[in-house]
A and B are shown apart, each in its own frame.
Chain A
Amino acid sequence: MATTRAQPDFRTRLQDWLPRIVLSPSIAMMFVFVYGFIVFTIYLSFTDSRMLPSYDWVGIENYVRLWGLRAWWTAVINLGIFASLYIVICTAIGLSLAIFLDQKIRGEGLLRPIYLYPMALSFIVTGTAWKWIMDPGIGIENTMHLWGWESFEFRWIKDRDMAIYTVVIAAVWQTSGFVMAMFLAGLRGIDNEMLKAAQIDGASNWNLYRRIVIPLLRPAFLSAFVILAHLAIKSYDLIVALTGGGPGRATELPATFMYSYTFTRNSMGIGAASAVIMLMSIAAIMTPYLYAELREKK
């Protein structure tokens, strides 16, 4: 075929360049949208922007003030509690469900979508539904009272110290089935022969999972971690629907902090600084993962 192209005319030259030409709009758009805009946000974080952007450079003042704010510390500590519980519980439930489903369960084809359903819903829906379920007036507490269990009490959502755990409950409900699907795919990819051999050698079930299966699932653990961690840092809609950041400011997370600080307190500079910190923490989690992926596939 190459010989017919000895003297490339315009058409064939165009054909050669076409792939690159058609690829460029997508890349350009993403480049501007992501990096251009992020650079702008970073720039804003070094200015004294309030309600509108200003271009007066103030150095790291916004960052200093941000870390001096009680509300920001609350948000960061909340994120720490939320993210660690969310990641650990989702992984634990997801893995156990996957191991269960892997035991030749009857009706697995019907069960899998049921486990996955919550993930297809918007976090707004999840937040709203759980807000009702956990509301003392109309939710579980009320139902238990109606059923005659008068002393039953479940009002975490109204409790400053416990409200953050209701966010964990709702988020775990939404994502566990999805994590299960990831682990299930990992389990199905494991070579049966190896396990049979181990069983013949007398390995107990427990040892089989601990020594062979779980180590082999390392890639699934890694992906689950990265996906759950970035979902946690990005969490915004769930909080808005479930607690609205309350009671008081007890369940504020960095993303909701950023929004309320900008639009109700007119401090764009400080809001931008908090956005930059969120961006950097996600980048810190993602970069090693992407590097590992890259090396693997090359």
Chain B
Amino acid sequence: MARAVTTNRKVINTAFAWGIGLLIFFPILWTILTSFKTEATAIADPPVFLFFDWTLENYQVVQERSNYARFLWNSVIIAGGSTVLGIIIAIPAAWSMAFVPSRRTKDILLWMLSTKMLPAVGVLYPIYLIFIELGLLDTRIGLVIVLMLINLPIIVWMLYTYFREIPGEILEASRMDGASLRDEILYVLTPMAVPGIASTLLLNFILAWNEAFWTLNLTAAKAAPLTAFIASYSSPEGLFYAKLSAASTMAIAPILILGWFSQKQLVRGLTFGAVK
């Protein structure tokens, strides 16, 4: 409901809005900049903002000390694996609800979303006990399964909303032309569904990547992803400010890149569809 405003007001508003933006972004920006400084420059008095000798030394030290690459690889496997598995299971369900809706479809969807809001502590014991029983503690496969189950409601629901936007007439037309169910899915539905699937993939990758309750509680050393990596660095003792910054920059870099492309999905997914 944007309204016309005077030029003067507009300039003030713009300046103010950008000020707030800078304030919000400052902690991230500062961390990234500090990660390229030497320890001495990082605590220099007065602090230097941009004009210092950029160095990659901190990144090297962090990698040597705590094997960043292994945590990163675990994160990729866990987030990627759970997302892909979830999508494979969810596509048929979403397809069914979007194209062959029944009286109960709306109820089922809301029920699914409601399960996503329940706290993880409610299912911690059974999962923990099953993990002990099956020897899944500190394994990547265990986390892939748990994170898939955690995010399945969101995946099904997001796919559903995207599939719903595909006009049903096109499917009917293809059926009239004698397309079999297989042809229909392969040649008509899939090409139109790809953007929606990609969006869902992106959002759930981020959600799984950020998931900390389960990754912290169900892993120790072998399968620990980046969330555990950051948590292990979270003690500021020793004042290795630049190295801490390098560690956290490495941990958030993938999200900083993916996040830029996924703002819409983020809002849509995390508000449970209240905002499209």
Q: List A residues at the B interface (Cβ < 8 Å).
A: 1, 15, 18-20, 22-23, 25-27, 29-30, 33-34, 36-38, 40-41, 44, 53, 97, 100-108, 111-125, 127-133, 135, 137-138, 143, 146-147, 173, 176-178, 181-182, 185-188, 190-192, 195, 199, 213, 219-220, 223, 226-227, 230, 233-234, 236-237, 240-241, 254-255, 258-259, 262, 268, 271-272, 274-276, 278-279, 282-283, 286, 290, 293-294, 297-298
Would you call B17 and A105 a contact (CB within 8 A)?
A: yes
Q: Is B40 close to A, CB under 8 A?
A: no
- Considering only residues 239-257 of chain B, those with a C-beta below 8 Å from chain A are 239, 241, 244, 248, 251-252, 255-256
Would you call A294 and B107 a contact (CB within 8 A)?
A: yes
B213 nearest in chain A by CB position: A236
Partner of A119, one of B127, B181, B217, B270: B270
Task: Give chain A residues whose Cβ lies under 8 Å from the Cβ of B173.
Answer: none
The 5 lowest CB-CB distance pairs between A and B, nearest first, are A22-B92, A120-B259, A122-B210, A19-B96, A237-B212
Would you call B251 and A120 a contact (CB within 8 A)?
A: no
Would you call A123 and B210 a contact (CB within 8 A)?
A: yes
Q: Is the interface of A mostly helix, strand, loop or mixed?
A: helix
Task: Give chain A residues whose Cβ lies under 8 Å from the Cβ of B181.
Answer: 15, 18
Task: Give chain B residues whose Cβ lies under 8 Å from the Cβ of A22.
Answer: 92-93, 95-96
Query: How far, in Å, is B243 (CB) from chain A's closest CB?
Result: 12
Task: Give chain B residues whose Cβ lies under 8 Å from the Cβ of A233.
Answer: 119
Total interface residues in chain B, CB < 8 Å? 91
Q: List B residues at the A interface (Cβ < 8 Å).
A: 1-3, 5, 9-10, 13-14, 16-18, 20-21, 24-25, 27-28, 31, 43, 45-47, 89-90, 92-93, 95-97, 99-100, 106-108, 110, 112, 114-115, 117-127, 129, 149, 152-153, 156, 175, 181, 206, 209-213, 216-217, 227, 230-231, 233-234, 236, 239, 241, 244, 248, 251-252, 255-256, 258-260, 262-263, 266-267, 270-272, 274-276
